[in-house]
Chain A
Amino acid sequence: MRPLDLAKRLRRDAAFEPAALERGKAVLMAAIRQAAEPRRRPTIIPQVPYQDIGAALTFLDRAFGFREIRTSRLVSGDGVIHHALVEFGDGVIGIGTQGAHGAISPRTGGGTSQYLSVHVEDVDAHYRRALTAGARIASEPHNEGSVRAYEALDLEGHRWRFLHQPTLETR
């Protein structure tokens, strides 16, 4: 038998799950929607310095639900991440290498010069998620009039205040 005919004898069709094509289309359509969305950036973007950007991105996602904007990552040739943007609702922050632009991580500096306020829909659910992911709680959930809030320290000591204010709509 000729080599080509032998090769043809190894042709086998795979047995697919019926929904395989639909799942593939969902992947495509999600990418299309993302591309079609106009990229809006808030006018002010706080830049938050970390010693280890990769660890910070993982932690902020797991603990607080901050999603990295996939196209934003700056990586050097040796694979080290230098900067990335993460978003939550309609807010965006930059996660940058400490030392750049004179900004220092609390893990290095020993204290913070600011804290960040984040509006969430369900403070207690957010608190449980952060706790499970290993955030240090600086202030347990509590009420301040109609506002419910808690405060947490992230893996490098930045302080975050999560709050729900009924008169504000969050996205």
Chain B
Amino acid sequence: MSAPPDAEVIGRSLVEPEAFGLIYDRHAATLLRFLGRRVGAEVAEALIGELFRIAFERRTTFDVSRASALPWLYGIGANLLLKHRRAEARRLRASARLAADEAPTRRASAGALDARLLFPRVADAIDALPDEERAALLLFAWEDLSYQGVAEVLALPIGTVRSRLNRARTQLREQLEPSGKKRERPR
């Protein structure tokens, strides 16, 4: 007998709430890693139970025409992360230091900034993105989701995802130009 799809498990959990535990068993590790990349182990560990508690309480809103619950769970996680901006900024800065230390040469590429300057600027630039652009960018770049995948997570049309990612890229590029040209942007 093949395992029932998530949609079926969630449907069953409406009358047998304990069935929702299986959704945790299937996806919690993926989401814990996702949260960990964004806010670090400590905050992620505190959030993972919360994420699934919220999912459980909102399970009637899950679109059962989707086989997998993963995009929906990512979406709930992305929302939770908005309340932990400080932890996220801290982790970005720490990751930037590590990336700089690991850079094989001091310069990431010819004519580019020194890695020790470059990566902190990348971190600052990501941190300065509007929430919805940062969410789309990091789902795409860190979670290896396709445009379609990001669109499902954020419940957006794929065209909107494409334009958000383009805006995010443009902003990163502007922030990283060695001339240091920075566009003032309203937050």
A25 at the interface (CB under 8 A from B): yes
Given contacts A12-B95, A13-B37, A20-B32, contact A3 B169 (CB under 8 A): yes
Q: Does A168 contact B (CB under 8 A)?
A: no
B156 interface residue per 8 A CB criterion: no
What is the CB-to-nearest-CB distance from A86 to chain B, in angstroms, rounded to a whole number? 22
Interface size class of B (residues with CB under 8 A): 35 or more
| Contact partners of A35 in chain B: CB under 8 A | 17, 56-57
Asked if B17 and A26 make an inter-chain contact with CB atoms under 8 angstroms apart, the answer reads no
Residue of A nearest to B122 (CB): A6
- Please determine whether B49 and A25 come into contact, CB atoms closer than 8 angstroms: yes
Chain B residue with minimal CB distance to A25? B24
Residues from chain B with a CB closer than 8 A to the CB of A16 are: 32, 36, 41, 44-45
With both beta carbons as reference points, the residue of chain A lying nearest to B100 in the complex is identified as: A9
With A7-B172, A9-B119, A17-B41: A28-B98 Cβ-Cβ less than 8 Å: no
Q: Is the CB of A20 within 8 A of B18?
A: no
Query: DSSP class of B's interface residues: helix, strand, loop or mixed?
Result: helix
B49 touches A32 (CB 8 A): no
Whether A21 contacts B176 by the Cβ 8 Å rule is no
**Among A8, A15, A27, A36, which residue has its beta carbon within 8 angstroms of that of B49?**
A27
List residues of chain B with CB within 8 A of the CB of A28: 20-21, 24, 49, 52-53, 56
Q: A13 contacts which chain B residues (CB < 8 A)?
A: 33, 36-37
CB of A17, distance to nearest CB on chain B (Å): 7
The answer on a CB contact under 8 Å between B18 and A27 is: no
Taking CB as reference atom, which chain B residue is nearest A3? B172
Within 8 A of B (CB), among A7-44: 7-17, 20-21, 23-29, 31-32, 35-36
The reply to whether the CB of B99 lies closer than 8 angstroms to some CB of chain A is: yes
Q: Is the CB of A10 within 8 A of B96?
A: yes
A158 nearest CB across to chain B (Å): 34
The size of the chain A interface, using a CB distance under 8 A, is 29
* Known A-B contacts A6-B122, A10-B96, A17-B45; A27 and B53 likewise in contact (beta carbons under 8 Å): yes
Q: Is the CB of A24 within 8 A of B48?
A: yes
Q: Are B45 and A24 in contact (CB under 8 A)?
A: yes
Collect the chain A residues with CB atoms within 8 Å of residue B57's CB.
31, 35
Q: Does B92 contact A (CB under 8 A)?
A: yes
Q: Does B7 contact A (CB under 8 A)?
A: no
With A3-B169, A35-B17 given, name 20 new contacts (CB 8 A).
Answer: A1-B112, A2-B169, A4-B140, A8-B141, A10-B123, A14-B36, A16-B32, A20-B44, A20-B48, A23-B49, A24-B28, A24-B32, A25-B24, A26-B49, A27-B48, A27-B50, A28-B52, A32-B17, A32-B56, A36-B17
Interface residues of A (CB under 8 A from B): 1-4, 6-17, 20-21, 23-29, 31-32, 35-36
Q: Can you show 28 pairs from A to B with CB atoms below 8 A apart? A: A1-B109, A2-B169, A3-B122, A3-B173, A4-B141, A4-B169, A6-B119, A6-B122, A8-B142, A9-B99, A9-B122, A10-B92, A10-B99, A10-B126, A11-B95, A11-B142, A14-B44, A16-B41, A20-B32, A20-B45, A24-B45, A26-B49, A27-B48, A27-B50, A28-B52, A28-B56, A29-B21, A36-B18
